[in-house]
């Protein structure tokens, strides 16, 4: 059974804080609570928790026996992406032919002492308009400025996320910092600055910066960018599959890349 959670006491935040996907869900709870129609939490069976946030569904702790109900729920909401634990994801893949399974790698950012000098070029509080300009150049199908600005500024004001730029041409966002576990996302570089190593230097500096505070930082990479993060020395933590709608594939993949932190 899938049931909407309307009371804070019914949301098991302790369970959410155990995994990277759960922490992402918890960060949305910190930012929006339970009162926004585009950010709704559901209980799934005995221990599962589902978050429906805009065009993404995230699930933790669901049992295989809940797969059929989940498939009906997903088909009804038609998100572009579904992230959930195995073996439920495998069962859903067989039930939802309109979704494809994409391989995704979680990389840990490894600190590089030689990147310390990059800090003089880091803007810790950049103009969000400039950040959007960089992201839009990297992700042409990025949602409109108003929607992006509303969500990003809201998360930043509530201390959930933080946006930075490097040399005015590369950007990255700390999507959340939960119990010293940091997810980095929305990495992009302006076309005219590509090939100069800005993303490489910036991410190595960011790894060093966060490590100084005892934080473990990761980012997600679909196969299209996986080799880049291996090359710069980031460590593979885990691998998984996520579901994405196959219709309008180019548009969906672009949005997915932005959501999960590719440059």
Are residues 202 and 170 in contact, defined by beta-carbon separation less than 8 angstroms?
Answer: yes
Q: Which residue has the higher pLDDT, 54 or 181?
A: 181
CA distance 221 to 172: 14
The pLDDT assigned to 74 comes to 98
Mean pLDDT of all residues in 81-96: 97
Question: What pLDDT shows up at residue 191?
Answer: 92
In angstroms, rounded to a whole number, what is the distance separating the alpha carbons of residues 180 and 263? 23
What does DSSP say about strands 181-189 and 216-222: parallel, antiparallel, or unpaired? parallel
Give the pLDDT confidence score for residue 248 in this predicted structure: 54
Q: Is-contact 187 262, C-beta < 8 A?
A: yes
d(CA 114, CA 42): 45
Sheet with strand 122-123: strands edge to edge: 2-4, 39-44, 48-53, 56-60, 81-83, 235-245, 99-108, 216-222, 181-189, 170-178, 162-166, 122-123
Distance, in Å, from the CA atom of 232 to the CA atom of 59, rounded to the nearest integer, reads: 31
For residue 194, give the H/E element and its range.
none
Helix (H/G/I), strand (E/B), else coil: 207: helix
pLDDT tier, 257 (very low <50, low <70, confident <90, very high otherwise): very low
Instruction: Tell if the pTM clears 0.85, that is, is over it.
Output: yes
Mean of pLDDT values over 170-182: 97
Structure tokens given for 96: 């939802």
- Residue 205: pLDDT band with limits 50, 70, 90: very high
Q: Which CATH architecture has domain 106-240?
A: 3-Layer(aba) Sandwich (3.40)
């Amino acid at each position: 059974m899938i049931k909407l959670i309307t009371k804070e006491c019914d949301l098991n935040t302790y369970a959410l804080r155990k995994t990277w996907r759960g922490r992402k869900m918890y960060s949305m709870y910190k930012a929006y609570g339970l009162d926004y129609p585009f950010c709704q939490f559901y209980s799934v069976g005995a221990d599962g928790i589902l978050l429906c946030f805009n065009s993404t569904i995230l699930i933790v702790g669901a049992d295989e026996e809940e797969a059929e109900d989940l498939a009906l729920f997903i088909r009804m909401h038609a998100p572009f992406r579904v992230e959930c634990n195995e073996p439920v994801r495998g069962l859903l893949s067989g039930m939802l032919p309109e979704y494809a399974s994409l391989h995704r790698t979680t990389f840990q950012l490894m600190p590089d002492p030689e990147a310390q000098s990059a800090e003089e070029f880091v803007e810790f509080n950049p103009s969000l308009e400039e950040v959007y300009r960089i992201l839009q150049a990297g992700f042409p199908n990025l949602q409109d400025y108003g929607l992006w600005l509303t969500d990003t500024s809201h998360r930043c004001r509530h201390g959930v996320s933080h946006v930075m730029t490097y040399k005015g041409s590369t950007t990255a966002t700390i999507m959340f910092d939960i119990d010293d576990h940091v997810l980095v996302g929305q990495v992009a570089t302006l076309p005219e600055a590509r090939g100069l190593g800005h993303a490489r230097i910036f991410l190595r500096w960011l790894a060093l910066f966060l490590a100084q505070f005892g934080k473990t930082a990761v980012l997600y990479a679909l196969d299209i960018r996986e080799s880049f993060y291996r090359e710069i020395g980031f460590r593979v933590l885990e691998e998984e599959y996520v579901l994405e709608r196959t219709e309008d594939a180019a548009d969906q993949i672009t949005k997915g890349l932005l959501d999960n932190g590719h440059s």
